[in-house]
Structure 1
């Protein structure tokens, strides 16, 4: 803390941008899209990524500048940076200096209960400290929203001092600009024949269930019913990646080659680009996939 306090006495570095995504899990989502755009249109800016460990850092593109969460260097860059970009809240101990600008991109179009909406939903808010969440959100200066609907929800759920910018989701630019190659790379990595029709099943987390998972489909039966020339790809919600939902059948089906498990794929866009059709419930992934104009 003393090291951070020392650097907090120095002027803000107006060319320093600190990025993080999905609780410091790497260069992902909207923050990654903002970072890449900044490299093109504002090359003077120095982008530094906050990651949770060296294993995560190893997955960053070569040459990416990064700091480990909680390290001495982390304290230095967060004390000096002018700009902060994240899709979740920064840790509570990060003190926002006067003049610093926090840009919050969010992770999705909100269909579940979020923020202050959780106050009268005790089941859905299990494990969430809503007042603390709102205090952290009050550091936002700009909220990048995917749509007018999302704007209204975020402003109601987070009644804080920020301005909404109806930019769309920056991460989805690749869906409308990429050719078939990105999807072909995913198919090649997973051994999916080029002439197969790929059906992506992507259910969301149930916030009213302690486990987060409700089995709605018999995956083996669905894969068999699709028939020859089809491949079923399954992508669970990231919060279920290490839970029982994956271990109770999905892992075994993937091992046997009945389905392809894409839960660990870091780039959701590649999975979407590889899919010819999407089967989902109320996952916000449907809004991203709609950009492809596919079933």
Structure 2
């Protein structure tokens, strides 16, 4: 089942993709559905609603207010090699805020105070349930599905301090969507999927989700040692090599560029780049 969130008749709604179009299933959010324990794999089949065509500019971030967005840094060894860091033996975790989210076909905003906006194509993991001290063996039972994420990073501000939070949270730099693909439609843990990022049609990142150093089950289990996970939480699982910061000379995004993030079986997330007004 593939869920999308978009504007229909002037209001935000949730829908599911079908072979005939997108079926509108109501205005309840994904996070609300999961909080009340709805099985997303079957809910969309049983729900009733009109079939519509979603306009290119009508998409919204897949979730409006996830309880937590936790990102994983340095989770591909080739990306660590192009960074100024040694490879850690524990997941590098940092938060993203809801205010940074944007949608498919909406612009990533290059802030007026820096010209170092960079792309990071990643697989996002959405949880349907949570808890503490989740075992690795049971971790994937908590996954609702998978989505695309472009974890736009303002490098100048990311590296102003040992903590990356500011550089990872500029408004309108975290693209999320367009589809949530339920876990039953993909390999366990989202493994074995080709991940690619293109800038202006050129492939700049290409890897397989098998290449993650800490797989989805490990991340969930490790995070739950410290944090109570909840339905609707999002984990953004890391990016491979090929970011602009890692090039010599460095190549950052500029107004007019178009970034596409694709993952096999999930789809493609497209975002143009514009300068902050």
TM-score range, shorter chain: under 0.3
Which protein shows a greater Rg?
1
- Which one scores higher on RCO, CA 8 angstroms, separation ≥ 6? 2
Q: Per residue, is there more helix in 1 or in 2?
A: 1
State the TM-score, normalizing by the size of structure 1.
0.24
